[in-house]
Copies of this chain bind each other. A is one copy, B any other.
Amino acid sequence: MHIKDELLKYKDIIEKYLDSVLPNDDGLQNKIYEAMRYSIFAGGKRLRPFLTLKVCEIINGNYEKALPFASAIEIIHTYSLIHDDLPCMDDDDLRRGNPTNHKVFGEGMAVLAGDGLLNFAYELMISQAVKNINESDKYLKAMLEIANSSGIYGMIGGQVVDIISENTKVEENVLNFIHNHKTSALIEASIVSGGILGGADEDEINALRSYGKAIGLGFQIRDDILDKIGDIQELGKDIGSDEENNKVTYISLFGLEGAIKKSKELCKIAKKSLTMIDKAGVNILEQLADYLVYREK
């Protein structure tokens, strides 16, 4: 199966699952349910949960037990976008072609919707572990991987350095820190947690981690490239918004050609890591590496 069809197939599975677990009742607080659902169902490739499900399936033949974790990762990703878009952060009006959460629900509700989503991601993962206490070892390890990659030592740490580096000249080490933490960390955790839930051995986990680091960074560099050359209809966000916010990117440091070269190198590293995993179906992860580095949106 081609990677684009695979992504579409799992996107559907993930969205159905998200719809089934996100609250949708008539509680007094239902305004926040609406705000949470608005951003969760505002589109997106569902790349992170795809990775969790697919890796779990490659390792042990089925993905079902990874569904709450894959969804929790997508929920964490979504909360981070809501908070990043706030006026006090990146101040974006558009996200995937639609008004950002605070534009629709107001800033206070957008802060709470983000908080609610982050907390809900943990409620989902912990519930799954409580229901399957005989496998809690795996569930807890996957949870720790996801938690560490999302927090101050991971994604939030990256966003902090991104914000304090605006309008300053940053060196390569700082740019690497931002990209590795803000974007790569959660992508790496999506892959590694899928491996943990599938019962991967230590060598497989190491190979998956190396693959995850490479495609995570490659994905972010491709984002920088698309921000520079992309088209507003294709990407659904303001073009050149990185330049507008005076954000440093791979392109501002190494030029467009340098960024493209770097992303191709990362694609090679990612594919090489996969040779350590002797499982049928692993070739879909090779295809994905190519797809992420050459995608047009």
Interface residues of A, Cβ cutoff 8 Å to B: 23, 27-29, 31-33, 36, 79, 83, 86, 88-89, 106-109, 111-112, 114-116, 118-120, 122-123, 126-127, 129-130, 133, 136-137, 140-141, 143-144, 147-148, 150-153, 156-161, 163-164, 174, 177, 181
Cβ of A111 to closest chain B Cβ, rounded Å? 6
Contact call B88/A107, Cβ cutoff below 8 A: yes
Considering the chains assembled together, what is the distance between the CA atoms of A29 and B162 in angstroms?
A: 9
Task: Check B126 against A160 for contact (C-beta < 8 Å).
Answer: no
Q: Could you say which of B144, B161, B164 contacts A130, with CB atoms under 8 Å apart?
A: B144
CB distance from A39 to the nearest CB of B (A): 14
Check A112/B174 contact, CB under 8 A, given A106-B88, A136-B140: no
A119 touches B163 (CB 8 A): no
List 6 A–B pairs whose Cβ atoms lie within 8 Å, in order of A's numbering: A29-B158, A83-B112, A111-B111, A119-B150, A120-B151, A130-B140
Whether A152 pairs with B33 at a CB distance below 8 angstroms is: yes
Question: Is there contact, CB below 8 Å, between A133 and B136?
Answer: yes
CA distance A31 to B31 in the complex (A): 33
A148 to B23, CA, bound (A): 13
Q: Is the CB of B118 within 8 A of A89?
A: no
